[in-house]
């Protein structure tokens, strides 16, 4: 063959059927690879945009909605204080459920520890500085 194959009519007529088939296959695979690369780049760009959006604090909605357990849906956690209380409430509910299922003595200890965390005042509580916690 010698040299690069152009797409003109003269070059195509010089090619045998097998060479023409190989040429078309190469072009088809090149276009396919280009499409796949564009799709991959678009997907990566979308992922970067989403991560950037969440890292700017716009993902705070998730804090308000929270990751709620079975009973946690009853608690409407709006601020950081309420969100922490809701998490503690969920921890107590899940550890008690584990203890009921027969998780051993360890589950009861975990439930008591979680209750202790829930009873402790949170930093957002308004208390005088001389009151010890």
Query: What is the model's pLDDT at position 70?
Result: 47
Give counts: helices (H), strands (E), the chain. 5, 0
Query: Is the torsion defined by CA of 95, 96, 102, 104 positive or negative?
Result: positive
77 pLDDT band, cuts 50/70/90, is very low
pLDDT value at 105 more than 60: no
Q: How confident is the model at residue 119 (pLDDT cuts 50, 70, 90)?
A: low
The residues near 92 (Cβ < 8 Å, ≥ 6 apart) are 111, 114, 115, 118
Which residue has better confidence, 97 or 18? 18
State the SS3 of 74-132. HCCCCCHHHHHHHHHHHHHHHHHHHHHCCCCHHHHHHHHHHHHHHHCCCCCCCCCCCCC
What average pLDDT does the structure give for the chain? Answer: 66
What pLDDT does residue 39 have?
85
Report the alpha-carbon distance of residue 39 to residue 6 in Å, rounded: 28
Give the pLDDT confidence score for residue 24 in this predicted structure.
85
Grouping H, G, I as helix, E, B as strand and the rest as coil, residue 65 is helix
Q: Has residue 84 got a pLDDT over 60?
A: yes
Tell me the pLDDT tens digit for each residue of 14-52: 778 888 888 888 888 888 888 888 888 888 888 888 888
State the pTM of this model.
0.25
């Amino acid at each position: 063959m010698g040299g690069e194959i152009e797409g003109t009519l003269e070059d195509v007529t010089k090619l045998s059927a097998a060479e023409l088939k190989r040429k078309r296959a190469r072009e088809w695979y090149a276009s396919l690879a280009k499409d796949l690369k564009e799709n991959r780049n678009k997907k990566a760009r979308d992922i970067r945009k989403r991560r950037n959006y969440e890292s700017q604090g716009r993902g705070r909605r998730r804090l308000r909605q929270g990751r709620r357990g079975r009973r946690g849906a009853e608690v409407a956690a709006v601020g950081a204080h309420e969100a922490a209380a809701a998490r503690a409430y969920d921890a107590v509910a899940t550890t008690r459920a584990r203890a009921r299922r027969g998780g051993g003595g360890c589950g009861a200890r975990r439930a008591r520890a979680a209750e202790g965390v829930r009873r402790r005042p949170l930093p957002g509580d308004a208390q005088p500085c001389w009151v010890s916690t």
